[in-house]
A and B are shown apart, each in its own frame.
Chain A
Amino acid sequence: MQLNSRKIVSALIVVCLSGGAAADDGLMDLSLEELADIQVLSVSRKAQRLGDTAAAVTVLARDDIRRSGARSVPEALRLVPGVQVAQFGAGRWAVSVRGFNSRFASKLLVQVDGRSVYSPMFSGVFWNGLNLMMEDIERIEVVRGPGASLWGANAVNGVINIVTRNAASTTGSMVRASVDDRGNPEVAVRQGLTLTGGAALRVYAHSENRAPFETRGGASSQDEQTGWRTGFRLDSDVGEPDHWMISGEAYRQRSPEILTLGGAGTYYTPFDFEGAHILAQRDWMTAAGQTSLRAYVDYADVVQGGLGDATVHTADLDFQHRLPVTGAHEWIWGLGLRHQSISVKSRVPVIEFDKDEVEQQTFSAFVQDEIVLLPRLLRLTLGARFEARNMGTPEFQPTVRLLWSPSDRDTVWTHWSRAARTPSYGERYAGLVAGAQAFGPFPVVTLISLPEEDLRSESVNAFELGYRRQLDRGSVEAVLFRQRYSHLVGNSFGGLRMPGLFPPTPDVLLTRHNRASAVTEGAEFGGEMAVNQDLRLGLAYTLMRQNYDTTGDAILDGGNATIANRNANHWLSLQARIDLSSRQELDLQVRHVGALKGQPAPGVDAYTVMDARYGYRFSRRAELTLSVTNLFDKRYTAYSSDYFPSAYAYDRRRLLLTGRWTF
């Protein structure tokens, strides 16, 4: 067995190396007609476009997303180095970049067409509510490390930009129907239209219906996902330098789960998400540069069964101006204004709010100058963002980036950045039951984390060194990072409270403060290569460690260790995209994630699973796809729910048959 696999690996290397020699001479003698008929080994030009960027950026193109078989955004993010993705229920995810993984990972900015989709409640994303129509995503851009100078609040550890397709590229009709091995059907429809004056419109709707995970004992976790989303996008003529776009959506999603309430048993509660938004954007070119203006209003409501609900209304205005290049300088500046009103209701004392309603205004301004120090060789970027909430002191978030291009194919970059995250509504105003444990003579007491309105912002000092190389047949990149966090929110012992005289058991109170600090450091590797016409390989590998500074405060150190232990110290994904014939595609993906220690004890084991996808195209109009997640039916769990504790949920093999017609 050992010998065989070694043979195969060396054969693969031979495949990779053969056929690299140039045969330019023969080509130069061909006529234009003949040239037009030659098939080329095309590789994605992502890395080349990124060649000038002094940041660790990965772009997932539409085809990458399609061939990964991803039915949700987190699944697609598994292909990106540095992004930690843990699924612990049919719709429950913990997604983070560079550490602090959590169900409500708070240091990540996620936007769809420039519209922020993280909830100010937790500064995190309800991934289960983000049931996007995957076909309509043009690309997903992932920036690891602070992107605050350009993108702003929450872009402490990274930015995920989801860009949907221009309506001009989705003309005609599309119908998708799928059914999984447990009989759950899903349907999506889309109609595109070309309007007079070159404008284009699409309207779409789709349903979501995903089977539940299972408990350790094999029973259903009762966390099946059901929901729908419908919307439209209207684009002006793509050929014009003055372009405008209007889009709108409405959605609903039901995502139930069973909470474990310490000694009080279990509690079945559905999370119901609903929301709507409308967005307009205009981009235009004048002699004074490139300008864009975007405005949106957004409504998002989360109802958590009998526990409570939270409604957020957002109005946002964003302006950006890129000046024409003058000498060695290229300036960009922008302004942003966001108004949010948050109103909450609590129905049980598991979560209680100090304030039921909050209005917050955020004003931001940024400026960036890209300076060519040595033409074609050395480029310096200086940028800063100022952000103030409710007339408070502005947060100053600067960045210094240096990009060196020793050749047209190699890029080396380094940057130092500071970014800040303003405390969330939940951190400032919500008191919640943080757990239950033995305490002194009492077998079980309730831990209650108290709200703290006066929390200050968390901040990070980040350093990064990266290298990217464009190959004839692909690209590779390697990034080293070290991020030092200060003023992190933590909990310390804040006294006892007797809820009643009988039974005489105290509640342990925890107070929140900004006294925690930590370091996250690691390395990220990414690569893709077209071995030949029919085979492309992709790799993403991350090594990471996260350590909090010890404070000597047992409760604080214990809480911090719990947060750090939710992160794996390495994870890998490996993909192969194979074109078996002009009609058939085979996609294989292996993903391995290292163990999580003590999360809660005894933690989560490392796991390796493989996914496969087989696509058959009957004609240009019809295709059938069979996707198998977890091909070898390994029973595994990836994470244990934080904030809302629940029993471990396990996944098994899943099959999905999808038919797609375009006409």
Chain B
Amino acid sequence: MRWRALLPFLLALLAASPLRAAPPTEYQLKAVFLLNFARYATWPDEALADSDAIDICVLGRDPFGEHLSGLEARQAQGRAVKVHYPAAALEAKGCEVVFVAASEQRRLNAILRELEDWPVLTVSDIDGFIEAGGNIGLVTVDDRIRFDINRSTVATQHLRLSAQLLKLARRLIGREGD
């Protein structure tokens, strides 16, 4: 193939993509959403002693990379934030926030069943996550991150989410007390 044949192709690319500041990557922003969920959720007192840190856990293949460890420099509700990578759902019972990575799609139902009796805020960007019983589902709409909330499972797991979080949700399913 002659390079000359490719030239209009490359020119068109350049014309179409002026140099400009790159936006954050998807998981850079989703990491910050996790921090905010930790800030706007309330756990039962017996689950979170006064001296405890808020543990943010990732199940499956970590899509965040360095962006998640950056959260440890911050605080949520006056507590330190710690990031963990448990090997199995049963080991995530002590976490406050659990992010279920896309790699766990096939095991999703099993994971949610193992966590359903624990005060663990489950978050994921797997399609149909809140319908399957997860608490907060992250969705990308027009290149922006939005979230959906399943109020029934939030309530049955004895968690409370702030009114502000509920107000900003794109979609709420279920009812409190269901």
A contacts, CB < 8 Å to B: 1-2, 4-5, 8-9, 11-12, 14-15, 18-20, 22-25, 27-28, 30, 32-33, 35-43, 45, 48-49, 51-52, 238-239, 241, 285, 290, 322, 324-325, 330, 375-376, 405, 408-409, 470, 472-473, 531-535, 572, 574, 576, 578, 580, 586, 588, 590, 592, 608, 610, 632
Establish whether residues B17 and A1, one from each chain, have CB atoms under 8 Å apart when the complex forms: no
With A and B bound together, what is the CA distance between A18 and B67 in angstroms?
18
* B102 close to chain A: CB less than 8 A: yes
Number of interface residues of B (CB under 8 A): 65
A36 touches B146 (CB 8 A): yes
Chain A residues in 8 Å Cβ range of B66: 22
What B residues does A241 contact at CB under 8 A?
109, 132
| Distance in Å: Cβ of A375 to nearest Cβ of chain B | 4
Interface residues of B in 55-110 (CB under 8 A from A): 61-63, 65-67, 70-71, 74, 85, 87-88, 101-103, 105-107, 109-110
Say yes or no: is B159 at the interface (Cβ < 8 Å to chain A): no
Residues from chain B with Cβ under 8 Å of A8 in the complex: 7, 10-11, 14
Question: Which applies to chain A's interface (DSSP): helix, strand, loop or mixed?
Answer: mixed
Inside 8 A of A25's CB, which chain B residues have their CB?
A: 70
Which of B7, B71, B144 gathers most chain A CB within 10 Å?
Answer: B144
B27 beta carbon closer than 8 Å to chain A: yes
**A4-B28 in contact (CB<8A):** no
Q: Please, which residues of chain B bring their CB within 8 A of the CB of A532?
A: 17, 20, 22-23
From B7, B65, B145, B173, contact of A35 by CB (8 A): B145
B128 close to chain A: CB less than 8 A: yes
- A42→B140 contact, CB < 8 A: yes
Q: Which of B16, B61, B85 contacts A52 (CB 8 A)?
A: B61
Question: In the bound complex, how far is the Cα of B17 from the Cα of A49, in angstroms?
Answer: 29
With contact pairs A20-B22, A24-B32, A28-B74 given, residues A12 and B16 touching in the complex (Cβ less than 8 Å): no
With both beta carbons as reference points, the residue of chain B lying nearest to A37 in the complex is identified as B144
A375 to B5, CA, bound (A): 49
What CA separation (Å) do A5 and B74 show in the bound complex? 47
User: Do residues B10 and A19 form an inter-chain contact, with CB atoms below 8 A?
Assistant: no
Q: Which residue on chain B has the smallest CB distance to residue A409?
A: B65
* Beta-carbon nearest neighbor of B25 in chain A: A472
Other-chain contact of B9, A22, A38, A52, A588 (Cβ < 8 Å): A588
Give the residue of A1, A38, A43, A473 whose beta carbon is less than 8 angstroms from that of B29.
A38
The reply to whether A32 and B40 form a contact with Cβ atoms under 8 Å apart is: yes
User: Do A285 and B109 have beta carbons less than 8 Å apart?
Assistant: yes
| CA A408 to CA B19, docked complex, whole Å | 31
Complex CA gap A2/B7 in Å reads 10
A184 to chain B minimum Cβ distance, whole angstroms, is: 28
When the two chains form the complex, which single residue of A5, A41, A290 contacts B3, counting CB atoms closer than 8 Å? A5
Contact partner of A18 among B22, B61, B143, CB < 8 A? B22
Given contacts A23-B24, A325-B110, 6 further A-B contacts (CB under 8 A): A12-B10, A49-B102, A51-B103, A285-B109, A408-B63, A590-B6
4 tightest A-B CB contacts, nearest first: A19-B22, A375-B87, A408-B62, A239-B131
Establish whether residues A40 and B4, one from each chain, have CB atoms under 8 Å apart when the complex forms.
no
- Given the interface pairs A45-B102, A49-B103, the reply to whether A578 lies near B16 with Cβ below 8 Å is yes
Within 8 A of A (CB), among B123-140: 125, 128, 131-132, 140
A431 to B121, CA, bound (A): 67
Give the docked Cα–Cα distance between A49 and B105 (Å): 8
Residue among B7, B13, B66, B67 facing the most chain A CB atoms (10 A cut-off): B13
Residue ranges of B at the interface with A (Cβ–Cβ < 8 Å): 1, 3-7, 9-14, 16-17, 19-29, 31-33, 35-36, 40, 61-63, 65-67, 70-71, 74, 85, 87-88, 101-103, 105-107, 109-110, 125, 128, 131-132, 140, 142-146, 164-165, 168, 173
Provide a sorted-by-A list of 29 A–B residue pairs whose CB atoms are within 8 angstroms.
A5-B7, A5-B10, A12-B10, A12-B13, A15-B17, A18-B19, A22-B67, A28-B35, A28-B70, A28-B71, A32-B168, A36-B168, A40-B24, A40-B25, A40-B28, A41-B22, A42-B26, A42-B143, A45-B102, A51-B102, A52-B61, A239-B131, A324-B110, A408-B63, A470-B63, A472-B28, A535-B13, A580-B16, A610-B5
Measured between beta carbons, the chain A residues less than 8 angstroms from B35 are 28
Q: Which listed residue, B28, B131, B132, B142, touches A27 by the CB 8 Å rule?
A: B28
Which residue of A has the minimal Cβ distance to B10?
A8
Give complex CA distance A610, B71 in Å.
Answer: 46
**Which residue in B5, B29, B107, B125 is a CB contact (below 8 Å) of A608?**
B5
| Residue numbers in B under 8 Å from A39 (CB-CB) | 23, 142-144
B36 touches A534 (CB 8 A): no
B14 touches A11 (CB 8 A): yes
Cα distance, A451 to B73, chains bound together (Å): 75
Do B29 and A578 touch across chains, with their CB atoms under 8 A apart?
no
Cβ distance A559 to chain B, nearest Cβ, rounded Å: 32
A35 touches B103 (CB 8 A): no
B12 lies within 8 A of A586 (CB): yes
- In the complex, which residues of chain B have a beta carbon less than 8 angstroms from the beta carbon of A590? 6, 9
Picked from B31, B85, B103, the residue with its CB within 8 Å of the CB of A24 is B31
| A27 proximity list for chain B (CB < 8 A) | 24, 28-29, 32
CA distance A330 to B70 in the complex (A): 34
The contact of B107 among A15, A28, A325, A531, by CB within 8 Å, is: A325
> Is there contact, CB below 8 Å, between A43 and B26?
yes
With contacts A8-B10, A22-B70, A408-B61 taken as known, whether A586 is within 8 angstroms of B3 at the C-beta atoms is no
CA–CA, A472 and B24, complex, Å: 10
Contacts of B32 in A (CB 8 A): 24, 27-28, 30, 35
The complex places the Cα of A633 from the Cα of B113 at a distance, in Å, of 59
Q: How far is the CA of A590 from the CA of B2 in the complex (A)?
A: 12
B71 A40 Cβ-Cβ under 8 A: no
Interface pair B40/A588, CB less than 8 Å apart: no
Which chain A positions have C-beta within 8 A of B71? Answer: 28
Return the chain A residue nearest B17 by Cβ: A535
- Chain B contacts for A574, CB-based, 8 A: 9
Expressed in whole angstroms, the Cα–Cα distance for A28 and B74 within the complex equals 8
Docked complex Cα distance between A375 and B70 (Å): 25
